[in-house]
């Protein structure tokens, strides 16, 4: 058994003159304060990778910078699934008795500390060096290909995809730390600049500066405990040219394994935190995870199913699409928001019931998947 005892999150957007280590430190200290722990009580650290500071020993670099001497330190790298993968590892470390309090942290000054060319080059490396990279695609191009195929198979339209961008922006407008807080409509998404058709600028997450952290502990703190009920992973491919059929991707596998490990059903879930690097990512994952039927997620958005007051509140902070995306810390913001919801501290964003939450992270081009169930205990 393990508990998420504290969370910390910086605003996302521009942080001029703040390094990745500084952003990580701000989030980490906020998480420790939230958990009521001192730095000396942290005996494990898990650190996400950084494209701005690609040090081969980033976990111990941060430990030195932050002034802690953990008995366990590890850096993790599975793309956008890294945050939940680190949470899963921290859960197992605590359950196994290796550590009592594991700090999970990530952050980057990716917006102000990395040039556009460097960002594009870093993102291009997800492609196969022989069969994909020579053709010049980057992450948006791969997801554009996936989107075209998905739209063809399930009758999804560009306007359907735009609904997810509008929903995430609506939620971000209620969070003071979100990078984007101006409301948008479907027409705004449709009129935005083409990036990799059918994906347009507002179908894509932004580049951000920011940091996120949380503490996974053996013992709960505070009145309301948030327990990691269970989690699972699936890795079906690395390169899009080796991907299986759209109906056989890893999200379905990982969530099935997580359900089996926890004994929970999708019908038990009251809050969802789902990776949303692009609108197509969110649409597909919601359907793969069983939160909507094939091709039906957009219709559920339109009727308010995934809104704050809907039957299945989703990414109430605005997600990657509007709260922002600072690399590994971007998806970790989903877990921070989930913790706030589960402990009744989400202010004007608070949902009616977040007693059972489903979180899902996606790395690469729908390549690596981590599904996790959290449970509130009194």
Q: Sorting pLDDT into bands at 50, 70 and 90, what band is 121?
A: confident
Task: With respect to residue 349, please indicate whether it lies within any of the assigned structural domains.
Answer: no
Residue 317 has pLDDT above 80, yes or no: yes
How far is residue 125's CA from residue 118's CA, in Å, rounded to a whole number? Answer: 11
- Greater pLDDT, 121 or 272: 272
Q: What pLDDT is stored for residue 120 in this prediction?
A: 83
Where in 155-268 does DSSP place strands (E)? 194-196, 199-200, 209-217, 225-235
pLDDT score recorded for residue 378: 83
DSSP 314: B
Asked whether the beta carbons of 215 and 37 are under 8 A apart, the reply is: yes
pLDDT at res. 3? 98
Residue bearing the bigger pLDDT, 17 or 8: 8
Q: Is the pLDDT of residue 224 over 80?
A: no
Q: Measure Cα distances from 281 to 32, 135, 277, 376 in Å.
A: 32, 23, 6, 28
**48-52, 78-82, 191-195, 223-227: the lowest-pLDDT one:** 223-227
Domain assignment present for 27: yes
Cβ 326 vs Cβ 291: under 8 Å:
no
d(CA 49, CA 128): 20
**Position 299 pLDDT exceeds 80:** yes
Average pLDDT over residues 229-247: 94
3-class SS at 274? strand
In a domain, residue 76? The reply is: yes
Q: Please work out, in degrees rounded to the nearest 5, the angle formed at the alpha carbon of residue 71 by the alpha carbons of 66 and 76.
A: 70
Chain centre distance of CA 98: 26
Whether 52 maps to a domain, the answer reads: yes
pLDDT in tens, 175-189: 999 999 999 999 999
Q: Are 150 and 284 in contact (CB under 8 A)?
A: yes
- Closest C-alpha to 279, from 363, 170, 174, 166: 166
Q: Confirm if 166 and 186 have CB atoms less than 8 A apart.
A: yes
pLDDT class of 260 with cuts at 50, 70, 90 = very high
Residues 210-230: b if buried by 16+ CB within 10 A, e if exposed:
bbbbbbbbbebbeeebbbbbb
Q: How many separate domains does the chain show?
A: 1
DSSP state of 239: S
Which CATH number goes with the domain that contains 73? 3.40.47.10
323 confidence band (pLDDT: 50, 70, 90): very high
The confidence score (pLDDT) of residue 223 equals: 74
Alpha-carbon distance 9 to 354, whole Å? 19
Give me the percent of the chain exceeding a pLDDT of 90: 92
| Residue 308 parent element (H or E) | none
Domain containing 11 equals 3-114+208-217
Query: Of the candidates 194, 79, 201, 199, which has an alpha carbon nearest to the alpha carbon of residue 146?
Result: 199
CA dihedral (165, 79, 262, 41) positive or negative: negative
Euclidean distance between CA atoms 374 and 354, whole angstroms: 9
In a domain, residue 57? The reply is yes
Any idea what DSSP says for residue 320? I
Q: What is the pLDDT of residue 125?
A: 83
Task: With respect to residue 13, please indicate whether it lies within any of the assigned structural domains.
Answer: yes
Q: Which residue has the higher pLDDT, 122 or 372?
A: 372
Contact 113, 19 (CB under 8 A): yes
pLDDT, tens only, 95-117 = 999 999 999 999 999 999 999 88
| Residue 298 within any structural domain of the chain | no
Confidence band, pLDDT 50/70/90 cuts, at residue 130 = very high
- 295 falls within a domain: no
Instruction: Give the pLDDT score at 258.
Output: 98
The H or E element containing residue 9 is strand 3-9
């Amino acid at each position: 058994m393990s508990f998420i005892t504290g969370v910390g999150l910086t605003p996302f957007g521009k942080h001029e003159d703040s390094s990745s280590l500084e952003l990580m430190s701000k989030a980490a200290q906020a998480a420790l304060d939230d958990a009521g722990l001192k730095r000396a009580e942290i005996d494990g650290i898990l650190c996400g990778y950084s494209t701005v500071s690609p040090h081969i020993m980033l976990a111990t670099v941060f430990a030195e910078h932050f002034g802690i001497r953990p008995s366990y330190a590890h850096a993790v790298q599975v793309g956008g699934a890294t945050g939940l993968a680190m949470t899963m590892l921290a859960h197992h470390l605590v359950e196994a008795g290796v550590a009592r309090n594991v700090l999970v942290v990530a952050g980057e000054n990716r917006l102000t500390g990395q040039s556009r060319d460097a960002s594009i080059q870093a993102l291009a490396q997800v492609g196969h060096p022989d069969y994909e990279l020579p053709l010049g695609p980057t992450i948006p191009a791969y997801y554009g290909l996936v989107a075209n195929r998905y739209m063809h198979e399930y009758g999804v339209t560009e306007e359907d995809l735009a609904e997810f961008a509008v929903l995430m922006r609506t939620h971000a407008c209620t969070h003071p730390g979100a990078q984007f807080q101006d409301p948008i409509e479907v027409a705004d998404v449709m009129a935005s600049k083409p990036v990799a058709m059918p994906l347009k600028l507002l179908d894509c997450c932004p580049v951000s500066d920011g940091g996120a952290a949380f503490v996974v502990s053996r013992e709960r703190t505070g009145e309301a405990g948030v327990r990691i009920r269970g989690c699972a992973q699936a890795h079906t491919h690395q390169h899009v040219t080796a991907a299986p059929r759209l109906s056989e991707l890893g999200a379905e596998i990982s969530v099935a394994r997580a359900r089996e490990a926890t004994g929970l059903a999708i019908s038990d879930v009251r809050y969802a935190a789902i990776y949303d690097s692009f609108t197509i990512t969110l649409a597909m994952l919601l359907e793969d995870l069983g939160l909507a039927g094939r091709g039906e997620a957009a219709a559920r958005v339109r009727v308010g199913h995934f809104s704050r007051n809907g039957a299945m509140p989703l990414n109430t902070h605005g997600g990657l699409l509007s709260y922002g995306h600072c690399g590994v810390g971007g998806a970790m913001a989903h877990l921070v928001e989930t913790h706030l919801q589960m402990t009744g501290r989400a202010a004007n964003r608070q949902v009616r019931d977040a007693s059972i939450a489903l979180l899902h992270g996606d790395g690469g081009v729908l390549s690596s998947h981590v599904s996790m169930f959290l449970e509130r205990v009194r």
